[in-house]
Every structure is written in C-alpha cells, then in structure tokens.
A and B are shown apart, each in its own frame.
Chain A
Amino acid sequence: EVQLLESGGGLVKPGGSLRLSCAASGTAFTGYTVNWVRQAPGKGLEWVSSISAGGVYIYYSDSVRGRFTISRDSADNSVYLQMKSLRAEDTAIYYCAREIPGTPFDHWGQGALVTVSS
C-alpha cells in the first residue's frame, strides 16, 4: 500500500521559516513527480510546487516563488519543502501528492498544518 506521510508543520511567527517533509513508503516515489498542495482554512486547493523524479524540473506557484524551495532525497524516499519569509496567508494544511507527469495526483498524504501567527 502506498503511504505518504508529511511532518514538520507547526506554529511560526511571520517572517519565520519552517521545513516540511514528505516520506514515502517503500519505492512509492521512485519515478514519480511529487507535488505540494495547500489548503487554507475553509478554502479550496492551491498547487504550490512540484519536483520531477530526477529532481531536474522544479516549479513553483507565483505566490511562493522566491520564498519556498522544494527538494528531494532519493536515498530516504523523501521530499522537502523549505519555507522562508512566511506570511499569515501561508497558513494552511500542506499536502504532498505524487503524480506521473501528464496524469493526476493518485496518492496524497494526510497533510501537515502550518500556522503563521504572532
């Protein structure tokens, strides 16, 4: 069974930093692009960033470009989202989700809550 598990969420002050991790069971990430998607309280889904299977192709939404950095470590089957200069509007549940390029997100993690507040 494919399992994705996010960790690293929490409460951080505006302007602060946080790093989220997404760990996959077994070889669940092998050959897959991995995405981060967030959902602000009571709101819809917003795609944030993606990283290709080999880590070569990386993309960001306009709302986080220059502040967030996505990376992956094939050795431990994990993908990371380094978040800096956090703002109140970054408060959300952050999900990781995998995809084969050109297909939708077939598995999602359970989400990690990030709260940006003073």
Chain B
Amino acid sequence: EIVLTQSPGTLSLSPGERATLSCRASQSITSTFLGWYQQKPGQAPRLLISATSTRATGIPDRFSGSGSGTEFTLTISRLEPEDFAVYYCQHYGSSRKTFGQGSKVEIK
C-alpha cells in the first residue's frame, strides 16, 4: 500500500502570500493518479486537482499542481481569505485509495 506523507503539517501565512504544500509517496506513482482536495471546517472535501496538475471545474488558476515519481506539490500563488483550509493529497491508482494526513494553511 502506498503511503503519502504531507508537509508541512501547518503553514502560517498572510493573505497574498504564496503557499507551497508537499506530498511525498512511499514509492513511485503514476502522475495520472495523484489528486488534491481542500477541506474547510464543517464541510466535505472538495476536489481541486486531478492527475497531478489538472484543475477541477471552477477551481481558480491560483491553484496549481506539479510533480512526478514520489514528489508532488500543490501551490497557491496568492492566498485569498477563502483559501485558509486543510489540504489533502490522494493516490487513486489502486483498489485501495490512500490520503495524506493533511496540511493546514492558517492565517498568520
């Protein structure tokens, strides 16, 4: 089973700053099968990115994804107030889907 490790656990930033979140896989994975979700308190997760870098419908272009092999990154170019949330990466390329433990982006 592939294990995803996200870092940092918490990122404290101000609106307008750039956020860079990391997701490391325990073994090399196909980039087609790596996605990112955003979750706000009291809400269900929302799909942001599929296939490492493809934004989901309605997701603004300040969100971007990149990576390959075992190292993947979600970047938020300029944080808006609504972007402060928890972000999860997911591998969905096998029968057992796995999530990272999450990275929280909080207001500094």
- Establish whether residues A106 and B93, one from each chain, have CB atoms under 8 Å apart when the complex forms: no
8 Å CB contact of B92 from A95, A103, A108, A110: A103
Quick check: which of B10-18, B71-79, B95-103 contacts chain A, the rest being far away? B95-103
Taking CB atoms, residues of chain B closer than 8 Å to A97 are: 45
User: Is A47 an interface position by the 8 A CB rule?
Assistant: yes
Taking CB atoms, residues of chain B closer than 8 Å to A105 are: 37, 45, 47, 90, 92
Beyond A44-B88, A95-B44, A110-B44, is A104–B35 a contact (Cβ under 8 Å)? yes
Report, as a range, how many residues of chain A touch the other chain: 20 to 34
Q: Give the residue name and chain of the A residue nearest to B30 (CB).
A: A102
User: Is B70 an interface position by the 8 A CB rule?
Assistant: no
Q: How far is the CB of A103 from chain B (nearest CB, A)?
A: 6
Instruction: Report the interface size for chain B: residues with CB under 8 A from the other chain.
Output: 23
- Establish whether residues B47 and A111, one from each chain, have CB atoms under 8 Å apart when the complex forms: no
Bound CA span A57–B101, Å: 27
Bound CA span A36–B82, Å: 27
Task: Scan residues 66-118 of chain A and give those whose CB is less than 8 A from a CB of chain B.
Answer: 95, 97, 99, 102-106, 108-111
Bound CA span A103–B35, Å: 8
Beyond A35-B97, A57-B95, is A104–B90 a contact (Cβ under 8 Å)? yes
- Establish whether residues B99 and A45, one from each chain, have CB atoms under 8 Å apart when the complex forms: yes
Taking CB atoms, residues of chain A closer than 8 Å to B45 are: 45, 95, 97, 105, 108
B residues bordering A, Cβ < 8 Å?
Answer: 32-33, 35, 37, 39, 44-47, 50, 56, 88, 90, 92-93, 95-102
